[in-house]
Amino acid sequence: MIDKLLIANRGEIARRIMRTARTMGIRSVAVYSTADAQAAHVREADEAYEIGPAPARDSYLNMRAILEVGRVSGADAVHPGYGFLSENAEFSEASAESGLLFVGPPASAMRTMGLKDRAKILMQKAGVAVVPGYLGDDQSAARLAEEADRIGYPILIKAVAGGGGKGMRYVECAREFESALESARREAKAAFGDARVLIEKFISRPRHIEVQVFADSHGNCVHLLERDCSLQRRHQKVIEEALAPGMSSVMRDAMGAAAVRAAKAVGYVGAGTVEFIVDGSEGLLPDRFWFMEMNTRLQVEHPVTEEVTGLDLVEWQLRIACGEHLPLRQSQIVANGHAVEARLYAEDADKDFLPSTGRLEFLRFPEAVSGIRVDSGVCEGDFVQPYYDPMIAKIIATAPNRAEAILRLAGALRNVQIAGVTTNAAFLIRCLTHPEFRQGAIDTGFIERFSDVLLPNLSSPPPEIYAAAARFLVTGSHGLMTDAEGYNPWASGDGFRVSGRSRQVVVFEHIDGRLEVLVEFYRDRPEQYLVSGSAVRIPNGVTVSRVASGQIAVMYDGATFKVKCFDPFISADSHMDRADEVVAPTHGKVTAVLVEPGQKVKRGTPLASIEAMKMEHTLLAPADVCISSVEVTQGEQVKEGATIVTFSKDDAA
């Protein structure tokens, strides 16, 4: 058995692996970049070693530095987690050469399944159906466009290497193909070092259902049932569940058998996930699913499988890596109840899911009660870095049935309180409580189809949020102290008077200029709040905190609203919109500059692309304008708010 385990990863998955290692009596060795020196996974490990600067390519993707830590620490095995080097065949081989047991599949399986075109050819030979598409070596734009026409629109452009939605583009019609291909190739090259793509038919009302498989080195292979990962945005999973809604036992057996055939076809060992695209237009039918890809690692969403099966998948990984037989036979693997997982990200759903970076100035997760599990990589005071995936935590709810699990998860997310970064918690709640989702009527287009409800894009916080902020500012707390609690009028900021009611007015900045909140205090009954003249009641469960920017963060129902007091001494000019420039919406790297000074462009024309947290964001012209200057160059790192281009409307076309 393993005595000391090197974990070649960070954040939530590193802590997750440590948790199982600890219960098995295995010591853990962490690695960290300079940006992660004070991270939670570093603090919790038995040993920790720095491996390089903040960018992943210089640290968590630095094989030589990681393997040197294995040598210095005396580790006997290395667990790659997910992402980074987890599906890198060279790292698997290099680990073995340096004397480290690699907790993962053989390098040959990684190479085969890591290339989607090769994997699909092999699956066809193994009798596993694949989606119609083009897998050829001719990567010319003309040939790819020709194949897209042959297959018939809509189609998907997908990176041959990698996964996670990177290098993937949905193309509705032929006129969109060229720009989508260029963008997909850039993103694929940046993420995987391989710009090759394949073309695939887009399935109407597609469901994304995957099967967890495990194989040992003795020729045994089983599946641990399925997970539904259909709720996605930008082809990245948002909410996952086990088991899949509407899945019959016949369909489950057919998908499970296909997944096992796929794993055996490549001589698989360890944990893997076979992902299928399913035509859900007429329900789940045994002849309407196709192999999509295989992830040769532990998945982000593995907790829902653990919750319904009662198994520890990391423990299985470690035991199988040590040469043990599979702990259970297929007939012994059964489901109990239903589990749903939501990925809590530092991102702004109202701004096209832009990543949000910064310090977690206030952080409260749901209480660890029965049926609620929180897997997180951060603690209060930690920083969400611009260099890595912005996931804060995975919130998992388990219950006897799907309806109760959804209700429990939505309730848990309402108790998430975070200030310092913007999160998607409120968006997740809206997804979970949508009638169609609760009925199981889901597919990969769900979020786009119901975007008007799921992404309301509120222009301003509701009145009760301003009332809660006013109460905090006036009282310095969530409410007034009573006489029995030692009320001192001379130390209070509530506008105390000897007789009559006390009144305070707090003025906030608002989209329309400013907003007034009148707070009235009475010694014999609760305070009252008038927001722009209308009475407002502050709901229960509101938490308020002051953040570093000087703003007031009001946390309620999974959302965090930031409001700012109006300062009459600040020049009105400082409140003016920056109407003559386009700025970086987040920290990132400029991957493309698409215009030049003097060029006249129409509204919606792409100006530049920025890569942030492994995703590419294209900046568009806000109107018909003439480009005055370009302030950045390709490859340059920029901060949030940095000027990208300036323009003039007077000379616009």
Determine phi and psi for 510, rounding to 5 degrees. -145, 160
Instruction: Render 271-307 in DSSP notation, one character per residue.
Output: EEEEEEEEE-BTB--TTSEEEEEEE-S--TTHHHHHH
Whether 471 and 538 have beta carbons less than 8 Å apart is answered as: yes
Distance CA 129, CA 285 (A): 14
DSSP-assigned beta bridge partners for residue 138: none
Polymer length of the chain? 653
- Compute and round to an integer the Cα radius of gyration of the chain: 27
Whether 504 and 474 have beta carbons less than 8 Å apart is answered as: yes
Determine phi and psi for 312, rounding to 5 degrees. -100, 105
Residue 268 token pair? 């698989």
Whether 2 and 79 have beta carbons less than 8 Å apart is answered as: no
Whether 12 and 393 have beta carbons less than 8 Å apart is answered as: yes
Of the candidates 207, 233, 297, 319, the residue annotated as catalytic is: 297
Distance CA 301, CA 230 (A): 12
Distance CA 42, CA 356 (A): 23
Q: Which of 628, 619, 575, 622 is nearest to 600 (CA)?
A: 628
Q: Are strands 206-215 and 169-171 parallel, antiparallel or unpaired?
A: unpaired
DSSP-assigned beta bridge partners for residue 30: 7, 48
Whether 246 and 284 have beta carbons less than 8 Å apart is answered as: yes
Q: Are strands 236-242 and 221-233 parallel, antiparallel or unpaired?
A: antiparallel
From residue 74, give the alpha-carbon distance in Å to each of 8, 47, 584: 14, 11, 45
Residue 381 token pair? 């005071």
Q: What share of the chain is helix, strand, coil (3-state, %, to 5)?
A: 30, 30, 40
Residue type, 136: G
Please confirm, yes or no, whether 373 is among the known catalytic residues.
no
Whether residue 243 is preceded by a cis peptide bond, meaning omega within 30 degrees of 0, is yes
Sign of CA dihedral 112, 113, 116, 119: positive
324: helix, strand or coil: coil
From residue 251, give the alpha-carbon distance in Å to each of 212, 272, 287, 308, 331: 15, 20, 9, 18, 17
Distance CA 366, CA 411 (A): 9
Distance CA 80, CA 6 (A): 8
Q: Which of 611, 617, 633 is nearest to 56 (CA)?
A: 611
Active site (catalytic) residues = 297
